[in-house]
Structures are given as structure tokens and as C-alpha cells.
Structure 1
């Protein structure tokens, strides 16, 4: 029976320094050769899916935390913030003095002082993920980021911003009840970032859209992840796999805990599940 395999990227398919293990590439290619379909399911927008990932050989992607679904080169679903929602969010973030970037399929568009103002948060985020490179820059994190683009846009999947404190998220949630409000880079008060997304959009909803398009059954889904944000995806799919480097809540939600991403964890799980 062919499966629909859904892979988180960072910490699952690639390690926390962005390296793609050869074993993971081989596992994905072998699984597809065996008739299974493989999709990435990520918070990244399409602009952050670089050629090295597509070159693995993928059937498509779910991006923007569920706002975008693509299969076989065809756009299945795409929901974006309205121009008015984007403008109001950008103005609020400017007034609050928070640095941010707009995540669109056409590119990532940074606020005016993002390159310096976001550096501390991204270095902390990298350190929490096991990459403590002391001189890593924002341009290392985002090699194709646009630093002088228009910030009032109608093609935005979501907006991520650096939290000054957890109060910023709480106030954002109150100010924007018409948007999906979330945090990442930690739980609760330890979160480093907040985000604004399209209301009602989740990875689970996007998987539903994909399955309907494919005429496939939820019972045939297998999800792989490593972070708290992946827990709903693991809960939704018929079978969930946590990476050995994953957080404890992901491991608790999983049906299987495999090895670390750097120890060929993805390939070992594919072998154990008979996908290759």
C-alpha cells in the first residue's frame, strides 16, 4: 500500500546547520521508487525551498504552515493575507519597534533594521538547535532575503517577527483577532518569535486539501517532525515519527522515535517502516 509521507525540514530532513544527509536523500528517492509519495510540510514559504531540496526528488510541498499546497508542480491551494491585513500588521510592528520579515512565495522581505535587529534572536535560535556558530549573520540564515522590498504586499503567506517579550505576542493576539497568531523558537515565555498567519489555516487543513486532491486516505499518511510546531501534524496523521533530536512533547506524541537527524535518523525510520 503506497503511503503519503510528510516531512518537516529543519531538524528532520536537514540538520540544524542546513546540511542534507546523503542517507536522507537516498531514503526519499528509494521510497518514491517504491511507489510512495513524499512531500515537505513546513513553516517555510516556497521562496525558502532551495534547489538542493527540490533536487532530492519530491512530489510537492505544504508551506507557510499550511497556507500553500503544491503537488506535481500544480498549485492545489494558496491562501494569503489581504493587502489591508498586511498593511495593518506592518504598521503595528513598526509602531511597536519590532523587526520582522514577510514570507511570500516570491521572496522573503525584511523590515528596515532586520539585519542587525534580528541577529541576537536568530543566533539564540541557532544555539538552541545545536548550532552555536558565533559569527553567523542574518544573510547566512537567509541568503536570498530582500532587504529593500515593498512591505505592503498582497502575496504574503505569513509574517514572522522578533519578540521583545512574550507581551508582544499577547498584545498582537488582542490587536489582530482576524489573523492566526502564533509563536516559535520556544514555548510560552521562552519563544523568540511571533507570527501572523491566514485565519483558519493549519498544517492539518492543508493535508486535508492535499489528500482530497490526490484522492488519498488519511489512514495512509506518515508524518516526521522534531519541534513543538510539528505535534499537531503528528497527531493528525495516521502515524507519527519524532526525530531523536526532537523536543520531548514531539516524542510523546509520536508512534516511533528514531535517531537524530545527524545520525541518519530519517533513513533508519524509513527502513524500519518498510518504505525503502
Structure 2
């Protein structure tokens, strides 16, 4: 198969535990671009947290917010937001349970309370600027994704009460909340359709629970060696860890780089 486009997760795939791009990964992406194959970021991160990585690697296109906002060479191609009635139910339930929420808009993100320790720990792990505070942001602006800050034993009540939403854990104290039909795979499908490419012509790299559908959907799904164990069954191939040449080795396996 001749692959024409490659989708890269950010955290744990392009970025190591220190949130840095390993030099070998940066060089691999540069060589990939030089060969005429398109690199695209596919992440749960919002657009405002993609730019530093995208600029470093010379990537101009991304599937962000777990498929909620797709950009190709600077142009928005696809958007999926959370219905306001579902947001209202989520806010009410989180208030009853004493759990903080962070609403992710297109331009910035906002917490519904200030100084929540769970929200602080989760955002700190991303090494990004902290959110603003606006409990009513969801009433005024489109929301693509929400951080729900609770522990794993507390999340089932939300899944039971809010069937129109998906809950994907990415931190011991945080979950992504998105529309039921939202996923990186759905965002990738929308982009491929615009570009006139088939899923068989696509490769994807990932390591987290929000990468399962993406890895299964594309022609070649590559899991990082540092992946969550539950991700591995969805991949066609498991490469080495991010800090051990994972991106480069995966691209070699795909036949997109020479050993």
C-alpha cells in the first residue's frame, strides 16, 4: 500500500514525558514531508495548544479536540460542538457531585470554578497555560469539548445519566467529554473526504485511550511502545517508545522512511 497521509497524536507520540519533541522524531517528520507525504496532527488538545508543536515540525493541518475542529492548511473544514442542552445536564450533575468542569472553545478554555486542585493537577501535566474562569462560558460560546475533573470510580454516574456524551479518561483526575459521535476517527474521515483520499491511504500513530478508533480506522494503525495497554488491540503494529525512536521506527515499518 502506498500511504499518502500520516496522522500523529501529540502527547506520548510526538511529545515525550517532558513535553518535548525528540530530535529523531522531528527529523523523521521533516523527511516524511520532503518525500511528499502529508503529516497531520490528530489530538485531543485544542487548537491554541497545538501551535507550538505544529510550528516546530512545520505541520499546517490538524484534527483537534478529538475530532471536534479540523483544519487543513489553515482552513477550517469540519466542526462538531456539544449540544447546549447536554452541557446544561452535565453542569447540573457536576455541580451536584462537586466536580469541576473546564469548557473548551475555539479560541480559549475556561473553568467553572477557580483553584480546583484536580483541574490544576490535570492541566499542569500538559504544561500549558491555565484556563480562564467563567462558569457561564458554555451559555455564550460554542463548546467543542469539556474536561470533567473526577476520579475513575466517580465517572460511571455521568456515563449512565448522559448517554449523548462520550467520556474518555486521559488523567487520573480528568476525562474528556465530547459528543457521542465525536472521535479522532470521525475528524480524520471528514478530512480524508475533502482531500479525496481513502482511509486505506492513511497511517496513524497514537498511545492513548482516545486513539483507539483512529488506529482501527486507518489503513495502518501504529501504537507507540508507551501506549495504554487497552490501545494495543486496536493497532496493526506496535513501535518503540516515544523516547526510543518510536515515530521514526514506525515510519520505517510503514515503508515511508528508509532504515
TM over 0.5: yes
Contact 2:184 2:210 survives alignment (8 Å): no
CA–CA distance in structure 1, aligned partners of residues 199 and 147 of structure 2: 30
Contact 1:241 1:256 survives alignment (8 Å): yes
1:54 shift after superposition: 2.9
- Matching residue of 1:97: 98
Instruction: Report how many aligned residue pairs link the two structures.
Output: 254
* Alignment counterpart, residue 270 of structure 1, candidates 230, 234, 251: 251
CA–CA distance in structure 2, aligned partners of residues 6 and 246 of structure 1: 16
Pair 1:82 & 2:83 matched: yes
Could you give the per-residue CA deviations for residues 223-263 of structure 1, whole angstroms, max 9, x where no partner exists? 11112331221111111111111133333332222111011
Contact 2:63 2:69 survives alignment (8 Å): yes
Structure 1 residues 223 and 165: CA distance shift in structure 2, 3 A? closer
Structure 1 residues 36 and 237: CA distance shift in structure 2, 3 A? same
Pair 1:145 & 2:146 matched: no
Matches within 5 A, 1:68-217: 68-119=69-120, 122=122, 138-139=123-124, 141-149=126-134, 150-152=136-138, 153-166=140-153, 168-177=154-163, 179-185=164-170, 192-217=173-198
Query: RMSD of the TM alignment (CA)?
Result: 2.2
Instruction: Could you tell me which runs of 5 or more consecutive residues in structure 2 were left unpaired when the two chains were aligned.
Output: none
1:164 shift after superposition: 4.1
Structure 1 residues 110 and 262: CA distance shift in structure 2, 3 A? same
* Alignment counterpart, residue 241 of structure 1, candidates 222, 225, 249: 222
CA–CA distance in structure 2, aligned partners of residues 51 and 271 of structure 1: 26
Structure 1 residues 192 and 212: CA distance shift in structure 2, 3 A? same
1:212 shift after superposition: 0.7
Pair 1:47 & 2:33 matched: no
| TM-score, normalised with respect to structure 1 | 0.83
Runs of 4+ in 1 over 6 A off after TM superposition: none
